[in-house]
Amino acid sequence: MTPLLDFLKSDHPGTPHLHHLIPPAAMPGGEIEVHGSHLGTHNADLPTVSIGDTPAAVSLARSSRATVRIPDGSISGDLVLHRNGSSSNPLHARIAVPLAENLHPVANPAVDADGRLFATFSGTRGQQVPVSIFAIDRDFQIRPFVRDLINPTGLAFDREGFLYTSSRNDGTIYRITPSGDATLFAEGLGIATGIAFDEHGNLYVGDRSGTIFKIAATAGLPDPSNLFVFATLEPSMAAYHLAFNSKGTLFVTGPTTSSNQVIRAIAPDGTTSVFYQGLGRAQGMAFDIDDNLYVAASLHGQRGVVRITRQGEASLALSGSNLVGLAFLEDGCAALATRDALYHVALDIEGRKLA
């Protein structure tokens, strides 16, 4: 190594050094805060950043912090900051990449027992579309799965491998075979949106006008003749989103106009409490195996996926806009649903297996 390279790579006072990234993952268009030392000054030109071979824009730089916007076309790689002819140490940045486009999810995607992913083209209220639900195979090939349903909204699998979807158009639930044949399962559920199964096979349906319905199971499968009101909540302007933790507690979000929105927890006996307050437009949720909750929402004005621990401590796990839901996949990866696409990202998070 030459003396010049020794100088550039040394820890002399002018060399930028990176400590950590907040959050550690982002979607294209999202922002990552780089924390470290000698990253920039008020009066100097902004430093430059590269993620792998891709340059990324820096919108703010101070001595200990720089804000980087993730450009389209980025992939996961080493983030390096360049300033005054010196380059920092690398930190790995996890970047989400497009998985399927020209969709219209309005809630979480769903994952079957074989690792295939399912997402909706929900459309506007009453809109008929050629394909209602798409399947994305493990090799990331997308194919039509269900046709002729109007406004499919929530998705969930039962223990037998049948997919259920709500329709916010007419307050119905459809049951879909593994080959994609849909039949009417239950009706009269208001503006049916989010759905979820508990570990006993009971199906819960969120009517965004203010009701959580329970379709109790018979022999481990939901029985539409055994339907009743489980809980009542404040109405949502968009949808209810439902998810269970390992203790059998049902968590519910429902976007309102408030920037101080709550996540509600409903015990198995129907008792409702506030689990967390302080989010903006909280939507789809998923739990990891340690019962940490991940929710598509805004936290302190930053949009993305928010991680909330069992103790109620919140932080941004991923930065990105237009998110409506997420689902954990195998190998620590996640599928992220925006208003018109799905993205794939490696997060090293093991999701909780659904009932």
Residue 87 β-bridge partners: 82
> Which residues of the chain form CATH 2.120.10.30?
99-346
Rg of the chain over Cα atoms, rounded to whole angstroms, equals: 22
pLDDT attached to residue 259? 79
Helix ranges (H only) for the chain are 3-9
> Which residues of the chain form CATH 2.60.40.10?
3-95
Give the homologous superfamily in CATH for domain 99-346: TolB, C-terminal domain (2.120.10.30)
pLDDT attached to residue 14? 79
Contact 82, 104 (CB under 8 A): no
pLDDT attached to residue 196? 98
The conformation of residue 71, written as its DSSP 8-state character, comes to: P
Contact 186, 175 (CB under 8 A): no
Per-residue pLDDT tens digits for 51-78? 999 999 999 999 999 999 999 999 999 9
Residue with tokens 């995607």: 109
Give the Cα separation of 319 and 337 in Å (integer): 13
pLDDT attached to residue 343? 98
Q: Show the low-confidence residues of the chain (pLDDT under 70).
A: 1-13, 42-43, 355
CATH 3.40.710.10 fits 3-95, yes or no: no
Give the Cα separation of 50 and 58 in Å (integer): 10
pTM of the model: 0.94
pLDDT attached to residue 258? 79
- Residue 274 backbone phi and psi in degrees, to 5: -95, 120
pLDDT attached to residue 262? 96
